[in-house]
Protein backbone atom coordinates (compact mmCIF):
# COMPACT_ATOMS: atom_id res chain seq x y z
CA UNK A 1 0.00 0.00 0.00
CA UNK A 2 1.30 3.47 -0.80
CA UNK A 3 -0.11 6.89 -0.11
CA UNK A 4 0.36 10.32 1.43
CA UNK A 5 0.02 9.06 5.01
CA UNK A 6 1.18 5.81 6.55
CA UNK A 7 1.81 3.98 9.81
CA UNK A 8 5.21 2.80 8.62
CA UNK A 9 7.72 4.10 6.10
CA UNK A 10 9.58 1.10 4.68
CA UNK A 11 13.05 1.98 3.38
CA UNK A 12 15.53 -0.21 1.53
CA UNK A 13 18.89 0.45 -0.13
CA UNK A 14 19.91 -1.84 -2.99
CA UNK A 15 23.28 -2.39 -4.60
CA UNK A 16 23.51 -5.29 -7.05
CA UNK A 17 20.63 -6.93 -5.18
CA UNK A 18 18.91 -8.66 -8.09
CA UNK A 19 19.01 -12.04 -6.37
CA UNK A 20 17.24 -10.91 -3.19
CA UNK A 21 15.08 -7.80 -3.48
CA UNK A 22 12.02 -9.48 -5.01
CA UNK A 23 11.75 -11.92 -2.08
CA UNK A 24 11.89 -9.03 0.37
CA UNK A 25 9.23 -7.00 -1.40
CA UNK A 26 7.00 -10.07 -1.80
CA UNK A 27 7.16 -10.67 1.97
CA UNK A 28 6.03 -7.17 2.94
CA UNK A 29 2.21 -7.31 2.54
CA UNK A 30 1.86 -10.25 4.95
CA UNK A 31 4.54 -8.82 7.26
CA UNK A 32 2.76 -5.47 7.61
CA UNK A 33 -0.76 -6.84 7.83
CA UNK A 34 -3.37 -4.09 8.15
CA UNK A 35 -0.82 -1.32 8.66
CA UNK A 36 -0.69 1.53 6.15
CA UNK A 37 2.74 1.80 4.61
CA UNK A 38 4.81 3.09 1.74
CA UNK A 39 7.95 1.47 0.35
CA UNK A 40 10.89 3.45 -1.00
CA UNK A 41 13.89 1.67 -2.51
CA UNK A 42 17.02 3.70 -3.13
CA UNK A 43 19.36 2.05 -5.61
CA UNK A 44 23.01 2.96 -5.11
CA UNK A 45 24.13 2.44 -8.69
CA UNK A 46 23.52 -1.26 -9.26
CA UNK A 47 25.21 -2.73 -12.33
CA UNK A 48 23.15 -5.94 -12.45
CA UNK A 49 19.42 -6.36 -13.15
CA UNK A 50 18.22 -4.79 -9.89
CA UNK A 51 16.76 -1.67 -11.49
CA UNK A 52 15.00 -3.59 -14.26
CA UNK A 53 13.39 -5.78 -11.63
CA UNK A 54 12.34 -2.80 -9.51
CA UNK A 55 11.01 -0.84 -12.48
CA UNK A 56 8.71 -3.73 -13.33
CA UNK A 57 7.02 -3.57 -9.92
CA UNK A 58 4.21 -1.32 -8.75
CA UNK A 59 4.57 -1.82 -4.99
CA UNK A 60 7.48 0.55 -4.35
CA UNK A 61 8.92 3.92 -5.26
CA UNK A 62 12.39 3.64 -6.78
CA UNK A 63 14.96 6.38 -6.30
CA UNK A 64 18.09 6.20 -8.44
CA UNK A 65 21.27 7.38 -6.77
CA UNK A 66 25.01 7.26 -7.10
CA UNK A 67 26.68 5.14 -4.47
CA UNK A 68 27.38 7.58 -1.67
CA UNK A 69 26.99 4.94 1.00
CA UNK A 70 24.41 2.85 2.82
CA UNK A 71 23.64 5.45 5.48
CA UNK A 72 23.17 8.16 2.84
CA UNK A 73 20.87 5.83 0.92
CA UNK A 74 18.70 5.16 3.97
CA UNK A 75 18.50 8.87 4.77
CA UNK A 76 17.54 9.60 1.16
CA UNK A 77 14.85 6.91 1.29
CA UNK A 78 13.40 8.39 4.48
CA UNK A 79 13.25 11.85 2.92
CA UNK A 80 11.42 10.35 -0.07
CA UNK A 81 8.91 8.42 2.06
CA UNK A 82 5.35 9.33 3.00
CA UNK A 83 4.93 10.85 6.48
CA UNK A 84 4.87 8.09 9.08
CA UNK A 85 5.55 7.82 12.82
CA UNK A 86 7.91 4.86 12.32
CA UNK A 87 10.58 3.82 9.84
CA UNK A 88 11.29 0.21 8.93
CA UNK A 89 14.92 -0.10 7.82
CA UNK A 90 15.56 -3.23 5.75
CA UNK A 91 18.48 -4.81 3.96
CA UNK A 92 17.50 -6.15 0.52
CA UNK A 93 18.59 -9.68 1.47
CA UNK A 94 16.10 -9.92 4.33
CA UNK A 95 12.54 -11.25 4.41
CA UNK A 96 9.93 -10.75 7.13
CA UNK A 97 7.53 -13.23 8.67
CA UNK A 98 3.76 -12.57 8.55
CA UNK A 99 2.65 -9.92 11.08
CA UNK A 100 6.26 -9.19 12.06
CA UNK A 101 5.87 -5.42 11.79
CA UNK A 102 2.69 -5.02 13.91
CA UNK A 103 4.42 -7.07 16.61
CA UNK A 104 7.50 -4.86 16.43
CA UNK A 105 5.31 -1.76 16.45
CA UNK A 106 3.67 -2.90 19.70
CA UNK A 107 7.12 -2.80 21.30
CA UNK A 108 8.10 0.50 19.68
CA UNK A 109 5.04 2.17 21.20
CA UNK A 110 6.27 1.47 24.73
CA UNK A 111 7.74 4.42 26.68
CA UNK A 112 11.30 5.46 25.75
CA UNK A 113 11.73 2.79 23.05
CA UNK A 114 13.33 4.20 19.93
CA UNK A 115 14.50 1.11 18.02
CA UNK A 116 13.18 -2.47 17.81
CA UNK A 117 14.98 -5.53 16.45
CA UNK A 118 13.24 -8.85 15.71
CA UNK A 119 14.37 -12.44 16.16
CA UNK A 120 16.31 -13.21 12.99
CA UNK A 121 17.31 -16.54 11.49
CA UNK A 122 19.83 -17.61 8.86
CA UNK A 123 18.72 -19.02 5.50
CA UNK A 124 19.03 -22.55 6.91
CA UNK A 125 16.78 -21.74 9.87
CA UNK A 126 19.48 -21.37 12.51
CA UNK A 127 19.30 -18.45 14.92
CA UNK A 128 21.20 -15.43 13.61
CA UNK A 129 23.03 -13.78 16.53
CA UNK A 130 22.15 -10.16 15.77
CA UNK A 131 22.45 -8.65 19.25
CA UNK A 132 25.58 -6.80 20.32
CA UNK A 133 27.23 -5.23 23.33
CA UNK A 134 28.83 -1.80 23.13
CA UNK A 135 32.46 -1.76 21.89
CA UNK A 136 35.18 -1.69 24.54
CA UNK A 137 38.93 -2.32 24.63
CA UNK A 138 38.24 -5.82 25.93
CA UNK A 139 35.94 -6.61 23.01
CA UNK A 140 38.18 -5.41 20.20
CA UNK A 141 39.53 -8.92 19.55
CA UNK A 142 36.25 -10.52 18.52
CA UNK A 143 36.56 -13.23 21.17
CA UNK A 144 32.87 -14.12 21.16
CA UNK A 145 33.74 -17.81 21.40
CA UNK A 146 34.75 -17.24 25.04
CA UNK A 147 31.15 -16.51 25.97
CA UNK A 148 32.43 -13.89 28.39
CA UNK A 149 30.70 -10.53 28.14
CA UNK A 150 33.91 -8.65 28.89
CA UNK A 151 35.49 -10.03 25.67
CA UNK A 152 32.48 -10.59 23.43
CA UNK A 153 30.67 -7.86 21.52
CA UNK A 154 28.46 -10.37 19.70
CA UNK A 155 25.89 -12.12 21.89
CA UNK A 156 25.85 -15.81 20.93
CA UNK A 157 24.00 -17.32 23.91
CA UNK A 158 20.66 -18.66 22.55
CA UNK A 159 19.10 -17.91 25.93
CA UNK A 160 19.57 -14.20 25.29
CA UNK A 161 17.15 -14.47 22.38
CA UNK A 162 14.24 -16.01 24.28
CA UNK A 163 12.76 -12.91 25.94
CA UNK A 164 12.22 -9.26 25.13
CA UNK A 165 14.91 -7.01 26.56
CA UNK A 166 16.95 -3.88 26.00
CA UNK A 167 20.30 -4.22 24.20
CA UNK A 168 23.21 -1.90 23.46
CA UNK A 169 22.75 -2.28 19.71
CA UNK A 170 21.56 -4.72 17.07
CA UNK A 171 22.62 -5.54 13.53
CA UNK A 172 20.91 -3.09 11.19
CA UNK A 173 19.48 -5.51 8.62
CA UNK A 174 15.97 -5.21 10.10
CA UNK A 175 15.19 -2.35 12.48
CA UNK A 176 11.97 -0.50 13.26
CA UNK A 177 12.77 3.06 14.32
CA UNK A 178 10.60 5.70 15.94
CA UNK A 179 10.54 8.68 13.57
CA UNK A 180 10.93 11.14 16.42
CA UNK A 181 14.07 9.26 17.49
CA UNK A 182 15.36 9.22 13.92
CA UNK A 183 14.80 12.96 13.54
CA UNK A 184 16.34 13.77 16.93
CA UNK A 185 19.55 12.01 15.85
CA UNK A 186 19.58 13.57 12.40
CA UNK A 187 19.27 10.15 10.76
CA UNK A 188 22.20 7.82 10.17
CA UNK A 189 25.71 9.26 10.21
CA UNK A 190 26.72 9.27 6.55
CA UNK A 191 30.43 9.61 7.29
CA UNK A 192 30.63 5.87 7.94
CA UNK A 193 29.57 5.10 4.34
CA UNK A 194 29.19 1.38 5.13
CA UNK A 195 29.40 -0.50 8.46
CA UNK A 196 29.09 0.84 12.01
CA UNK A 197 26.26 3.23 11.11
CA UNK A 198 23.74 1.12 13.05
CA UNK A 199 26.12 0.80 16.01
CA UNK A 200 26.55 4.55 16.08
CA UNK A 201 22.81 5.16 15.68
CA UNK A 202 21.76 2.84 18.51
CA UNK A 203 24.42 4.18 20.88
CA UNK A 204 23.59 7.80 20.11
CA UNK A 205 19.92 6.98 20.64
CA UNK A 206 20.74 5.54 24.05
CA UNK A 207 22.72 8.69 24.86
CA UNK A 208 19.52 10.67 24.30
CA UNK A 209 17.27 8.32 26.29
CA UNK A 210 15.96 6.08 23.49
CA UNK A 211 16.26 2.33 24.12
CA UNK A 212 17.00 -0.36 21.56
CA UNK A 213 14.80 -3.35 22.37
CA UNK A 214 14.92 -6.89 21.03
CA UNK A 215 11.69 -8.86 20.70
CA UNK A 216 11.45 -12.59 19.95
CA UNK A 217 7.79 -12.22 19.04
CA UNK A 218 8.56 -10.91 15.54
CA UNK A 219 10.48 -13.09 13.11
CA UNK A 220 12.58 -12.52 10.02
CA UNK A 221 15.28 -14.10 7.88
CA UNK A 222 18.50 -12.49 6.72
CA UNK A 223 20.82 -14.04 4.17
CA UNK A 224 23.76 -11.71 4.83
CA UNK A 225 26.50 -10.60 2.47
CA UNK A 226 23.97 -9.93 -0.26
CA UNK A 227 26.06 -7.17 -1.85
CA UNK A 228 29.40 -8.95 -1.57
CA UNK A 229 32.28 -8.96 0.92
CA UNK A 230 35.92 -8.45 0.04
CA UNK A 231 39.18 -6.92 1.23
CA UNK A 232 37.88 -3.38 0.75
CA UNK A 233 34.70 -3.94 2.73
CA UNK A 234 36.64 -5.70 5.49
CA UNK A 235 38.99 -2.72 5.66
CA UNK A 236 36.04 -0.34 5.84
CA UNK A 237 34.55 -2.38 8.65
CA UNK A 238 37.72 -2.29 10.75
CA UNK A 239 38.44 1.40 10.14
CA UNK A 240 34.88 2.36 11.01
CA UNK A 241 35.06 0.40 14.26
CA UNK A 242 38.10 2.45 15.24
CA UNK A 243 36.43 5.70 14.17
CA UNK A 244 33.30 4.95 16.16
CA UNK A 245 35.28 4.07 19.27
CA UNK A 246 37.40 7.22 18.95
CA UNK A 247 34.33 9.42 18.63
CA UNK A 248 32.91 8.00 21.84
CA UNK A 249 36.00 8.04 24.06
CA UNK A 250 39.28 9.87 24.65
CA UNK A 251 42.33 9.69 22.40
CA UNK A 252 44.34 7.58 24.86
CA UNK A 253 41.79 4.78 24.74
CA UNK A 254 41.35 5.27 20.99
CA UNK A 255 45.09 4.75 20.41
CA UNK A 256 44.91 1.56 22.49
CA UNK A 257 41.94 0.36 20.44
CA UNK A 258 43.87 1.12 17.25
CA UNK A 259 46.92 -0.81 18.45
CA UNK A 260 44.83 -3.80 19.49
CA UNK A 261 43.10 -3.78 16.09
CA UNK A 262 46.53 -3.97 14.43
CA UNK A 263 47.38 -7.02 16.54
CA UNK A 264 44.04 -8.68 15.79
CA UNK A 265 44.40 -8.15 12.04
CA UNK A 266 48.00 -9.39 12.09
CA UNK A 267 46.89 -12.55 13.87
CA UNK A 268 44.06 -13.07 11.37
CA UNK A 269 46.48 -12.60 8.49
CA UNK A 270 48.87 -15.19 9.91
CA UNK A 271 45.94 -17.58 10.30
CA UNK A 272 45.18 -17.28 6.59
CA UNK A 273 42.67 -14.43 6.32
CA UNK A 274 44.16 -12.63 3.33
CA UNK A 275 41.83 -9.64 3.58
CA UNK A 276 43.47 -8.77 6.89
CA UNK A 277 46.79 -7.98 5.15
CA UNK A 278 45.01 -5.38 3.03
CA UNK A 279 43.44 -3.95 6.17
CA UNK A 280 46.78 -3.82 7.96
CA UNK A 281 48.37 -1.89 5.11
CA UNK A 282 45.46 0.57 5.13
CA UNK A 283 45.69 1.06 8.87
CA UNK A 284 49.43 1.74 8.72
CA UNK A 285 49.30 3.84 5.54
CA UNK A 286 46.33 6.27 5.59
CA UNK A 287 46.66 6.92 1.85
CA UNK A 288 45.62 3.30 1.22
CA UNK A 289 42.31 3.65 3.04
CA UNK A 290 39.09 3.54 1.00
CA UNK A 291 38.61 7.16 -0.12
CA UNK A 292 34.85 7.14 0.46
CA UNK A 293 35.51 7.04 4.23
CA UNK A 294 37.39 10.32 4.24
CA UNK A 295 39.73 8.78 6.81
CA UNK A 296 43.05 9.21 5.01
CA UNK A 297 44.22 12.47 6.56
CA UNK A 298 45.31 11.20 9.98
CA UNK A 299 47.13 8.12 11.22
CA UNK A 300 44.48 7.48 13.87
CA UNK A 301 41.22 7.25 11.87
CA UNK A 302 38.66 9.86 12.85
Looking at the predicted structure, is the pLDDT value of residue 235 above 60? Answer: yes
Q: Report the sign of the C-alpha dihedral through residues 36, 4, 27, 71, in that order.
A: negative
At 26 the pLDDT is 98
- To the question of domain 8-222 being in CATH 3.90.550.10, the answer is yes
Looking at the predicted structure, is the pLDDT value of residue 76 above 60? Answer: yes
At 228 the pLDDT is 55
Buried b (16+ CB within 10 A) or exposed e, 70-88: bbbbbbbbbebbbebebbb
Query: Three-state secondary structure along the chain?
Result: CCCCCCCEEEEEEECCCCCCHHHHHHHHHHHHCCCCEEEEEEECCCCCCHHHHHHCCCCCEEEECCCCCHHHHHHHHHHCCCCCCEEEEECCCEEECCCHHHHHHHHHCCCCEEEEEEEEECCCCCECCCEECCCCCCCCCCCHHHCCCCCCCECCCHHHHCCCEEECEECCCEEEEEHHHHHHHCCCCHHHCCCCHHHHHHHHHHHCCCEEEEEEEEEEEECCCCCCCCHHHHHHHHHHHHHHHHHCCCHHHHHHHHHHHHHHHHHHHHCCCCHHHHHHHHHHCHHHCCHHHCCCCCCCCC
Percent of the chain predicted with pLDDT > 90: 92
Question: 137 — alpha (psi -120 to 50), left (phi > 0) or beta?
Answer: alpha
Q: 2 falls in which pLDDT band (50, 70, 90)?
A: very low
Indicate the domain borders of the chain.
8-222, 231-293
Q: 3 falls in which pLDDT band (50, 70, 90)?
A: very low
Give the residue among 45, 37, 83 at the shortest CA–CA distance from 62.
45
Looking at the predicted structure, is the pLDDT value of residue 237 above 50? Answer: yes
List 41's β-bridge partners, or say none. 12, 62
Helix axes 21-32, 100-108, angle to 10 degrees: 60
Q: How far is CA 38 from CA 10, 22, 78, 197, in A?
A: 6, 16, 10, 23
pLDDT in tens, 167-226: 999 999 999 999 999 999 999 999 999 999 999 999 999 999 999 999 999 999 998 754
Q: How far is CA 253 from the centre of its chain?
A: 25
Beta strands 8-14 and 37-43, pairing class:
parallel
Task: Please tell me the pTM assigned to this model.
Answer: 0.94
Amino acid sequence: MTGAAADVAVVVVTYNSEGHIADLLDSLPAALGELRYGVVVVDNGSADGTLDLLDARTDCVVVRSSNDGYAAGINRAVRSSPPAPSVLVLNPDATLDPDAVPLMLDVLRKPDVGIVAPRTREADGRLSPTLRRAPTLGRVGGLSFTGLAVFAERIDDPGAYEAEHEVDWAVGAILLVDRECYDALGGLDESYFLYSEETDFCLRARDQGWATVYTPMAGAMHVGGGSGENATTHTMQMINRIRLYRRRTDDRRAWAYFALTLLVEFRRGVLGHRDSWTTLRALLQPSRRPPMLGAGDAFLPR
